Chain A
Amino acid sequence: MAGGREIKTKIKSVQNTRKVTRALEMVSASKIRKAQDLMKASRPYARLMRQVIGHIAKANTEYQHPFMVARTQIKRVGYIVVSTDRGLCGGLNSNLFRRVINEIREHIDNGVQVDLVAIGSKANAFFKRFKVNLVGTATHLGEKPQLNALIGVIKVMLDAYTDGRIDQLNLAYNDFVNTMTQKPTVDTLLPLPPSNGLSTTHEWDYIYEPSPDVVLDHVLTRYIESLVYQATLENLASEHAARMVAMKSASDNASKAIETLSLIYNKARQAAITQEISEIVGGAAAV
Chain B
Amino acid sequence: MTSTIRCDIVSAEEEIFHGAAQLIVATGEMGELGIAPRHAPLITRLKPGQVRVILENGDEQFFYVSGGILEVQPQVVTVLADTAIRAKDLDEAAANKAKDAAERALANRTDALEIAQAQVELAQAMAQLQALERLRKALKH
Contact = CB atoms under 8 A, between A and B. Distances in A.
A265 interface: no
Ranked 7 nearest A-B pairs via Cβ: A152-B94, A152-B98, A136-B98, A209-B44, A155-B95, A207-B42, A44-B15
Contacts of B12: 42, 45, 147, 225-226, 229
What does DSSP make chain A's interface, helix, strand, loop or mixed? helix
Given A52-B69, A136-B102, A210-B29, 9 more contacts: A48-B10, A94-B125, A105-B115, A126-B118, A129-B113, A130-B115, A137-B101, A147-B83, A148-B83
B38 to A, nearest CB: 13
B83 to A, nearest CB: 5
Contacts of B41: 55, 59, 204-207
Query: Taking each of A129, A131, A210, which has the highest tally of chain B beta carbons within 10 Å of its own beta carbon?
Result: A129
A153 to B, nearest CB: 4
Given A128-B106, A206-B43, A226-B12, A156 B98 contact: yes
Interface string A93-128: 010011001001100100000000110000010101
B102 A118 contact: yes
A226 B126 CA distance: 33
Contacts, number: 165
B105 A124 contact: yes
Interface string A122-163: 001010111110111111000000111001110110010000
